[in-house]
Structure 1
């Protein structure tokens, strides 16, 4: 259970896996016109949580240097996204056994894909390169605190550790695109819902769960 603030080594914030806890997302990720706070809804579907373990000074310095190394690559990717006209200034790096698997940046404009955020792009490329969808032996370093979509992608890929640099508030302050969603969501009525639910029974045993 999370009992304190996210562990910080000075350069980035470190989230790890544990039990359920309050949401790691700032309220700005979930702006609501009715004044309610929806952060807990996503938090309870994820378990990347802050590590509160304190390290001895020498180990902490070594950990900080390591984070600086990989976050610097993520920041370079973020610059590249803008310089190349590919998207907004966000970068992400997937690391395994202290080696960079992939380093990617935001490709929303280049790919004409609203989901091609740096973290999602990095996860896609890492899965392709490693030939698997389970990245539980990998870490991610992101130039900025991931949005809810990217955090969900990190969770689904089972990445064991996430370290980010800039905060969500910093991204929003520079004009990032996290806004109220004009979106209606409802469950289908009648036979539509039943037909969709029968899908799971009809395909059970025919596909491999992941």
Structure 2
């Protein structure tokens, strides 16, 4: 999953939704999706989380696991959809809603449509791979045999901040690792140079008085101390 391009700080702030019961409901379920995203982050995965809601009850949860599961399809939405299908006993879930912290990609959007999900709510937009309006919009294709309604921007600030902090921390860790590797390589070179110098000095030292005399063109017999 690619790192999303985040909007300026001024545009990240969510509006005050406290007076709207419907939007308060969306915030409640998005918070549950954020909890899942934290589990992904703790596992070293890109922090994206999702929940599936049926009859005002969360029936399934999921978070990113492509690295640990060695599965490129293990996005948060896919994990949640698979779990929800097992709960319901059917891959078609026309009465369900899906909440996810990041705009779904093409793969996840296709699975959402195939599962007949009624409504999707996402947090942060993804200008690089988003398929719910940012790069393209699979949900506005009138020729499809199922239509899923879509809403974005719920708790966008919190969702965006989590992603931004994650990628920022990963870049800092990569730079620190590169610096440590460079310093280790420099130390290894210095040690190798010092060892080579010691070997050279040892090979140049004469083994006996006759060798020393040969090295200095003197006769050891003329040296009373020899």
TM class, shorter-chain normalised?
Answer: 0.5 to 0.7
Query: How much is the aligned-residue C-alpha RMSD, in angstroms?
Result: 2.7
Higher Cα radius of gyration? 2
> Matched residue pairs, number?
120
- Give 2:29's match in structure 1, choosing from 35, 60, 70: 70
2:72 is the counterpart of 1:114: yes
Residue 105 of structure 2 corresponds to 147
In structure 2, the CA distance between the partners of 1:162 and 1:60, relative to structure 1 (3 Å rule), is farther
Q: Which has the higher relative contact order, 1 or 2, with Cα contacts under 8 A spaced 6 or more apart?
A: 1
Q: Does 1:93 align with 2:55?
A: no
Whole-angstrom CA distance in 2 between matches of 1:60 and 1:161: 22
Give 1 or 2: higher helix fraction. Answer: 2
Unaligned runs of at least 5 residues, structure 1: 1-9, 13-57, 176-210
Structure 1 stretches (4+) deviating beyond 6 angstroms? 170-173
Aligned mate of 2:40, from 71, 81, 97: 81
Cα distance change of structure 1 residues 93 and 155 upon mapping to structure 2, 3 Å threshold: same
Q: Is the 8 A contact 1:11 1:64 kept in 2?
A: no
- 1:76 shift after superposition: 1.2
For the 8 Å contact 2:52–2:98, the answer to whether it is kept is: yes
- 1:132 and 2:93 aligned: no
Aligned-partner Cα distance in 1 for 2:58–2:19: 21
Asked whether the 8 Å contact 1:70–1:141 carries over to 2, the reply is yes
Unaligned runs of 5+ in 2: 1-12, 131-162, 168-226
